[in-house]
Amino acid sequence: MFVCWGNICRSPIAERVAEQRASAVGLSDVRFSSAATSTEELGRPMDPRAAAVLRQYGYRDGDHVAHQITAEEIDGADLVIAMEPLHIERMRRLGDVDSALDEGRMALLTEFDPDAQPGSGVPDPWYGGPEGFEDTLAAVEAAIPGVLDRIRELQQQSVS
């Protein structure tokens, strides 16, 4: 599960990229989703600029309805990936998510990009122009190979 502030830009972009990249490498038994830490955008579709950048770079934008993450979703997810440290802090307010952190099931997206600054986040493109959405897509694309490697590890652990 990918998590950002409103679930209309960064997390749905990450969800779509992960879906397509996982399918391309044969990880078909994985389900990706996304959610918000705030209530500001609940029920809204993906930001049109996010959908446009996905289409421009060959990803499907698809149907999307923003929703807020719940403690139950965190508990049930194999991996919860936040776009910024703030999102992890906001998820902590939902309940006891420290076990997800302790178990390595919660992380920042940038932790999966070997070239990213440790502890950094994916900047929110909502306040700017189209180039911000391209930057977000590039940050997501840089991290997704690491995310897929982690998913493979989790799958191997569950088989063992």
Picking from 97, 81, 78, 80, the residue whose alpha carbon sits closest to that of residue 155 is: 78
CA-based max dimension of the chain:
47
Q: Provide the annotated active-site residues.
A: 4, 10, 124
Q: Are 12 and 36 in contact (CB under 8 A)?
A: no
